[in-house]
Chain A
Amino acid sequence: MAGQLTPMTSAPVHPQAKHHKNTLWWRLFKNRTYFLFCLPGVVFMILFFYIPVLANVVAFKDFSYSEGGFIAGLLQSPWVGFNNFKFFFESADFWIVTRNTIGYNMVFLLLNFFFAIFFAIIMSQLRNRRLLRGYQTLMLFPYFLSWAVLQYFVYAFLNPDKGIVNQMIHALAGGKGIDFYNNPAPWPFIILFLGVWKGIGYNSILYFATAMGIDPTLYEASMIDGASKWQQIKNVTIPHIVPVATLMLILNIGGIFRSDIGLFYVVPRMSGPLINVTQTFDTYIYRALTTTNDIGMSTAAGLVQSVVGAALILTCNAIVRKVEPKSALF
């Protein structure tokens, strides 16, 4: 609709428009402002994405150095097909790693969505703005604490003999307490809890800003219709959050094969007995490549993550386009 509107409205300004309308130059000229708007981004992506991404071919090569530097080395190195991918696919841990990575990410996706939107909505409805500002500031703190720091905090609670939890068990029930770092059972919950808890402040910002950006007249109208608070949220707030939520869904699903080394490696303190519930694709790669340190293999691992992510983004977008074309990305 709008696309047809524009040339019509500009017609009086450019009398010869009809003449030139279909030539390439006219189209380019007409879009000049948009090109200008895109220019910095395009330059950026060429420099920091399109040029360096080409080096991903190293995943299919047995890389060796050359006097001409990295690029010469890359060109001279022999092709080895999918050799660099083998170490992961042939590993005995393949299924565990895949299960953990995708499992955790699916649950995270759900929980993060639910809690971020839930918090955003209640925060947008609070009466006292000053209090709210305080809450939000405090909730953002965990985001700043890196996992490397938070793991100390977690350790302070869970340490086998000096930890707060075990000291409490000692005091109340006696006995030896729980050796958390040798006992995998509680870890899926610990990890999920920590991951969600740390991200709520940050994740809810986007939805909060969206909810706050809703035109107040819409609520007014809804109130005049006699809608209850819950109905207002259902009929005004949530529909406005859906497009942003859909966008985040499409984007986040691309990261389904990625995970935070901090949460899965540093927080469990690299503990061996926990590996079956803490090993994800990234920690697997990190552990496996410490001795070989091979650029071909690490790039191959990155490519696997990218390809899985890309496939999911495309699928997800296709589904969204069917259901709600306005929210689809492309």
Chain B
Amino acid sequence: MKKWTKLLVGMSAILGTLLLAAGCSGGNSSSGSNKVTVSMYQPGDKPKNYNEMIKAANARIHKTLPNVDLDLKFIGWGDWGKKYNVMVTSGDPYDISFASDYVSNAQKGAYADLTDLMQKYAKKAYDMIDPAYIKGNTVKGKLYAFPVNANVYAANVLTFNMDLVNKYNLDISKVKSYADLTPIFEKFHKEAPNIAAFAIGQNYKASMKAVEYPATNSLPFAVYEDGKDSKIFNRYDSPEMQKTLTMFHDWYQKGYIPRDAATSTTGYNFQENTWLVQEQTQGPFDYGDTILKNAAGGKDLKSMPLTDPYKSEAQAQMANYTISKTSKHKKEAMQVLNLLNSDPVLLNNFVWGVKGTQWNFTDEKAGKIKVTKKYAPGYYLGAWIMGNNRILYTQDTVTDAMIKTRDDGIKNTPQSAMLGFNPDISSIKTEMSNITNVMSKYNDTLNTGTADPLPTIKKMDAELKTAGYDKVLKELQKQYDAFLKG
């Protein structure tokens, strides 16, 4: 008994001292020298070889910026949204961070204005960025983001599991749309009823040929990317979508879509033969199915086109880096971003891992490399999130022809009509919240074919109307018209 009491008294003494010490210590940031550490937050797991990576990176940075150190901070994907939100709202003085909710945060003034900063300290990197990125990230005439130059355009594709295609002798050569899948599924399902023909699950959204979403894809608003029609419309009311969903419902009833699709969150692993078709997004830097096959550990996959490629708003905002308004090292942060996006040695050290360990040059001049056995998940960072994909080395399996296709694609793909449209929803927040709520009732059952689409859409539209759909549509349309004019 006595010992226990003593322990408690001791503990409280420790706590008191600690609180006092914490309260008094204050800021201990200034440590004499004028060395600056730039903190850079991004979602994901810390790579296992982080120490080697960052050592090499800082050595490289010191060649141009002798007084700047880079410190990468990783926050797991699962916590990213919440933690980032707290960081931004509390005004944390982070230097660089990957951005979520870029537009609304920019509108509320969370980020430093980079329009001039970028010209001044990152001209070299800025010039390499596709103009679509700049246009897509301009909010109220100002640029708050340093976009990662990567898949500036993308299209959804239908990816087939070739093991099963060959096994059941399916003809996939003519697939251009969802409708072309029906005969394939019919044959496949008869022979392999236990394997998911169309492997979709909760959160899946049926695609339209060429539309973009002014809010998010979980809300019904859509516009055509070709710009021939500038009306914002409810995509579930469009004949194209209704035809697709009616077909999905038919598939669902016949068992081509798993019966638990609307509630299932199980991922279909590429490597296993538990699925026949999945829907994927691909862009120029995927080099066809090359990246996909890498991800699948060399499994044979084949993708057929589904939607039209456009340089879209969604692609432009895929990976943005922002500098906090409260950062104390805005200039240095911008200089680091410049290097990351213009210095191949620095960037490739992250994206491919450490030179000599994860990879070796096969042709240094052409930037061709071969990865070693030590190149494995957890030993490199994603290309799409790290920096300018233009300056990445490529594996020796990527041919010159493939690179030419990539560059031609980037040159020739049109911009979406909506590119650069970042609506200000502050006046319709209330209605947006209520619409979001209505959609949460219908999104999954509609898009997975679980619900009979026509009556369900009718019911949904009635609910949307009471939630303030018309007001939101009117406001979005007004802003969109103004955007198209300006």
* Interface set of A (CB-CB < 8 Å, partner B): 40, 43, 62-70, 72-73, 83, 86-87, 90-93, 155, 159-162, 179, 181-182, 269-273, 275, 284, 287-295, 297
Q: How far is the CA of A295 from the CA of B108 in the complex (A)?
A: 11
Q: B25 in the interface, Cβ–Cβ < 8 Å?
A: no
Residues of chain B within 8 A (CB-CB) of A291 are 215-216, 218-219, 432-433, 436
| Chain A residue nearest to B89 in the complex (CB) | A295
Q: Which of B42-50, B222-230, B404-412, B441-449 contacts A (4 or more CB under 8 A)?
A: B441-449
Contact A294 B19 (CB under 8 A): no
Residues of chain B within 8 A (CB-CB) of A272 are 262, 440-445
Question: Which of B19, B430, B432 has the most chain A CB atoms inside 10 A of its CB?
Answer: B430
Q: How far is the CA of A293 from the CA of B444 in the complex (A)?
A: 21
By Cβ-Cβ distance, the 8 closest A-B pairs, closest first, are A69-B91, A288-B433, A269-B263, A272-B441, A87-B430, A65-B110, A65-B109, A87-B433
Rounded to whole Å, the gap between the CB of B444 and the closest CB of chain A is 6
A270-B444, A288-B433 known; A70 vs B90 contact (CB < 8 Å): yes
Q: Mark B12-46, 1 if CB is under 8 A from A, else 0.
A: 10010001000000000000000000000000000
Name the contact of A292 in the complex, choosing from B91, B429, B440 (C-beta under 8 A): B429
Name the contact of A92 in the complex, choosing from B105, B426, B445, B467 (C-beta under 8 A): B467
Residues of chain B within 8 A (CB-CB) of A269 are 202, 263, 265
A63-B108, A65-B108, A288-B437 known; A90 vs B91 contact (CB < 8 Å): no
Residues of chain A within 8 A (CB-CB) of B260 are 159-162, 181
Contact A292 B425 (CB under 8 A): yes
Q: How far is the CA of A291 from the CA of B472 in the complex (A)?
A: 14
Q: B372 in the interface, Cβ–Cβ < 8 Å?
A: no
| Chain A residue nearest to B465 in the complex (CB) | A92
Q: How far is the CA of A68 from the CA of B91 in the complex (A)?
A: 8
Residues of chain B within 8 A (CB-CB) of A69 are 90-91, 93, 326
Q: How far is the CA of A60 from the CA of B215 in the complex (A)?
A: 25
* Interface bin, chain B: 35 or more
Rounded to whole Å, the gap between the CB of B274 and the closest CB of chain A is 13
Inter-chain contact total with CB atoms closer than 8 Å:
117
Rounded to whole Å, the gap between the CB of A48 and the closest CB of chain B is 12
Rounded to whole Å, the gap between the CB of A60 and the closest CB of chain B is 15
Rounded to whole Å, the gap between the CB of A12 and the closest CB of chain B is 29
| Chain B residue nearest to A89 in the complex (CB) | B430
Q: How far is the CA of A161 from the CA of B109 in the complex (A)?
A: 50
| Chain B residue nearest to A276 in the complex (CB) | B441
Q: B101 in the interface, Cβ–Cβ < 8 Å?
A: yes
Q: How far is the CA of A34 from the CA of B348 in the complex (A)?
A: 64
Name the contact of B104 in the complex, choosing from A181, A288, A292 (C-beta under 8 A): A292
| Chain B residue nearest to A293 in the complex (CB) | B101
Contact B466 A92 (CB under 8 A): yes
Contact B433 A271 (CB under 8 A): no
Q: How far is the CA of A62 from the CA of B19 in the complex (A)?
A: 34
Residues of chain B within 8 A (CB-CB) of A63 are 108
Q: B85 in the interface, Cβ–Cβ < 8 Å?
A: yes
Q: B293 in the interface, Cβ–Cβ < 8 Å?
A: no
Contact B445 A273 (CB under 8 A): yes
Residues of chain A within 8 A (CB-CB) of B442 are 272
Q: How far is the CA of A179 from the CA of B448 in the complex (A)?
A: 15
Rounded to whole Å, the gap between the CB of A180 and the closest CB of chain B is 9
Rounded to whole Å, the gap between the CB of B123 and the closest CB of chain A is 25
Rounded to whole Å, the gap between the CB of B10 and the closest CB of chain A is 14
Residues of chain A within 8 A (CB-CB) of B88 are 65
Residues of chain B within 8 A (CB-CB) of A293 are 85, 101, 104
Contact A288 B434 (CB under 8 A): yes
Q: How far is the CA of A68 from the CA of B90 in the complex (A)?
A: 10
Q: B259 in the interface, Cβ–Cβ < 8 Å?
A: yes
Residues of chain A within 8 A (CB-CB) of B202 are 269-270
A65-B325, A160-B260, A288-B437 known; A297 vs B429 contact (CB < 8 Å): yes
Residues of chain A within 8 A (CB-CB) of B425 are 292
| Chain A residue nearest to B325 in the complex (CB) | A67
Q: B130 in the interface, Cβ–Cβ < 8 Å?
A: no
| Chain B residue nearest to A83 in the complex (CB) | B430
Q: B320 in the interface, Cβ–Cβ < 8 Å?
A: no
Name the contact of A181 in the complex, choosing from B90, B262, B325 (C-beta under 8 A): B262
A–B pairs, 18, beta carbons within 8 Å: A65-B105, A65-B109, A65-B110, A66-B109, A68-B91, A69-B326, A83-B430, A87-B429, A87-B433, A91-B437, A93-B437, A161-B260, A182-B445, A270-B202, A270-B263, A270-B440, A272-B262, A292-B429
Contact A271 B436 (CB under 8 A): no
Contact A292 B466 (CB under 8 A): no
Rounded to whole Å, the gap between the CB of A256 and the closest CB of chain B is 22
Contact A73 B467 (CB under 8 A): no
Residues of chain B within 8 A (CB-CB) of A62 are 426
Rounded to whole Å, the gap between the CB of B261 and the closest CB of chain A is 10
Q: B250 in the interface, Cβ–Cβ < 8 Å?
A: no
Residues of chain A within 8 A (CB-CB) of B90 are 69-70
Contact A91 B326 (CB under 8 A): no
Q: B149 in the interface, Cβ–Cβ < 8 Å?
A: no
Q: Mark B152-164, 1 if CB is under 8 A from A, else 0.
A: 0000000000000
Residues of chain A within 8 A (CB-CB) of B325 are 65-67
Question: Which of A40, A73, A289, A291 has the most chain B CB atoms inside 10 A of its CB?
Answer: A291
Q: B450 in the interface, Cβ–Cβ < 8 Å?
A: yes
Q: How far is the CA of A87 from the CA of B468 in the complex (A)?
A: 11
Residues of chain B within 8 A (CB-CB) of A40 are 12, 15
Rounded to whole Å, the gap between the CB of A198 and the closest CB of chain B is 21
Residues of chain A within 8 A (CB-CB) of B216 are 291
Rounded to whole Å, the gap between the CB of A55 and the closest CB of chain B is 10
Name the contact of A294 in the complex, choosing from B12, B429, B431 (C-beta under 8 A): B429
Residues of chain A within 8 A (CB-CB) of B259 are 160-161, 179
| Chain A residue nearest to B429 in the complex (CB) | A292
Residues of chain A within 8 A (CB-CB) of B110 are 65
- A92-B466, A290-B436 given. 20 additional CB < 8 A pairs? A40-B15, A65-B91, A66-B91, A69-B326, A70-B91, A87-B430, A92-B434, A92-B467, A93-B437, A269-B263, A270-B440, A271-B445, A272-B443, A273-B441, A273-B451, A288-B434, A290-B218, A291-B215, A291-B219, A292-B104
Rounded to whole Å, the gap between the CB of B193 and the closest CB of chain A is 11
